[in-house]
Structure 1
């Protein structure tokens, strides 16, 4: 009897899953995630989400714009969730309750995003909450850039430690280290006591660090309003070109240092001073932060671009302040312990320069990851690994325990280049095209050319009119960069040769709703689509086949079956 019961359950399960297109009954976002807020008797504000079974909220998508750091709510423990493309993330299920302190005032812009287990990602949402009352003023869709939370997603302590180390490295680059004695003379003058020298050098370093902190705050504030603008391909290409340009002096293409006339004048000024003063040291530190840090040009540009995408002024200011402190620590060491404890210029400085060069090239590749074709990006990444291995092999001469590392890097880089040449796009499985077979995977160029990307309603209407005039089927593919299932389907469904062959003659329109813009909302509202991924079939006469709509993630086999049934029914 038990065996029969189990068999019936398995049969029922297989029947319910045989037609995955029946999973189109996804709840509207306001039904899947019921948000409410209320003022408690204690004066605190309670934010609450009732999350329907089968749905979840991303912890990292929670945003609290308008609240200072000290008033932001403590997030409860979340559950681990594995995304194929975004890795392991933390999510909330069932319900989520957050408490804001009674001292919080003004207007809170709550940002959040949720998904369904069945494979649908809702667009990012925003609730405007007046903290003077419990009313929610309005709800609208909001963009959520993955890069915008860079500094927030990594712990602040780790960010501060990383930038402190970066500052120390910058202080020992070839154009900074020779300046230390000159700076010591300018700050201290002649004949000051050790205690006085420490005070003067500390004021100098703090002033320089404050200048960098101000740059970090400005970059973060500007970045908060320019995030969408920073994602434009022409700008990303320009930023990548800047990183490549800044890497060239690290490899000896040209020198990046103070002009000799300015360096000589500073040295003569240092010899002519007697005893420093706090105001002069502070002014000199501020000027140094802007003018006397030639080695800061490249890394500071990268740091500011990195911070600009975070939109967090507090974190941006703190990390660049820490970088300035790291830059100034060798000066403090010089005025307290003397020259004999500082490392001398030598061949090791070229290793530091080379390391920075490869870091800048990696940043250029990272910037271009959403612009380049996946296969091209994979090939460039492989070339970067090969070049790094080639440069590291002689540098690690004599260090037998770790000298095998360049060999491994070079080997993996070669696999990436070979996989890219075959049309692969997965850095962890570069040889997948050779294993998958010719009938399942096609070159990225063929896949990309098959779709027409549309982000504006007039462009969509023009494409639909053209298809109707030609008696052509149309498939609308709603897509967003933040949609995990979209990326899964792009790789596992629309990159297959058999799928593209079956869609031959169909006008394939990819509706990009990544950005938070009226055009994206209009594209979603035209066919009442809850979010990506959603696939809509438009017949040759221009009417949608509503019963054949696919909402949520689907695999290649079921997609081909659905399209065959749709086409056979006309």
Structure 2
């Protein structure tokens, strides 16, 4: 009797203790977002990878995953093998995942879309979480016609009752479908950039694009701005210092970054690149004349500054006499952004596509501005070093200023060269080389100056000899002396197409062959780099021996050119599209911007064997 009463009292105490301790145990469970951390990214323009990081002591049900999308069509998800366990809630064996899982989903989308991921998981301690639905924004591309029709999976309703901990041990599940991620081709640069932008996290986008801009800082599109800024700082004379040079560089870089960003946003919102619009004789001619006018200040004709009436207004507004100079430098930087604008590289193309498809000016503009900041690093270095490396006064200063003036004349000629005949280009380089060379040789006696003068004279003479002997390539004026076409480096032979109809006809006429479509323009610096450095590579030519080579010349920027660029979502050349043996574009294999032969060969792996 006493023993029975003792046992009943003990049971009551245990029940009470369990009731009192239950809230504390509930507090030990992780929040759903912490227990099941989800992320999503584009493996390529037509494949989404959805990943979950699962905390220790937790697991997720395979059959509770479901995927829906707004503004996109989804294919059948591909799951990796899980583990089978008997679940008392369902009363059957279920497949589960622990630690981590990545699911790939085919997607057909024309730009930004919203993917909604439904999932459910439980804790070994006995708590089953309510079903979760997590939306994420991504950027996709239209799927090739050969892609299977999308068929979103159907999912049974999720249980609302908690599932107790299972005593059954996990056993390997039957073999599941192979994971698409393992067979997927490496993500292209455009896909990676789209993934960064699609995340919408400025704390990731800004440093990423600053680093990208730093990598672009030493390209032929950005380097011409260095002589402009250097000439401005040199023009300061004795007033130049490290601090002053840095302030001028910041003003110049800020002007360039703001206008560059504005041009990019405008191009994205309009839906067409401004590259071709900027590459016409009137725009380039006006910019060339402006640079020539700026170079005259280096020869002592006038001081480089904004008009005096603007200077006085700016000085009155700020109370600083240097405001006029800073405003002038800012304007020079803004104008110099036109040099960078036509250069279409993969990062710029990715940002423009993002803006055009999402209309998200904040994220796209932040990416462009950050990239411009990265590209400004050499300019800032010029400003910081000016105070200690550049001479302050005297004959040396005058010589340096004249040298920068000549460099600016050379840059003006380089800028207008895309719209000049080869003969005029070579005449310009001849006059510049022989003229400055003769000046240095006749007005100086220092050995270094004489050597520089001789070098300029030789370069001018080479251009002159090449011109009068029939050469028509300013970059290789004596190339025709190497034995003619037989001795010149062989180049890929392209078939030109002028319209979308001609492209489709060419693909249809060559069934069973892979194809490569190259977008080219005479004013495209990177296109010429590809022509001279990549397309002449023997390994590249062997790799493309059996491939149909097509090319679109968009120099004229006419209606057909715009239609082809718009068809493939390009904002300007260079751009290369790869097609499979069925004449369909290979997803995630686009090449935008210059690629060296080794990297280009890696990109061509998408063509298959």
Same fold (TM over 0.5): no
Band of TM-score, shorter chain = 0.3 to 0.5
- Higher relative contact order by CA 8 Å / sep ≥ 6: 1 or 2? 1
Provide the TM-score with structure 2 as the length reference. Answer: 0.39
Q: Which has the larger radius of gyration?
A: 2
| TM-score calculated relative to the size of structure 1 | 0.41
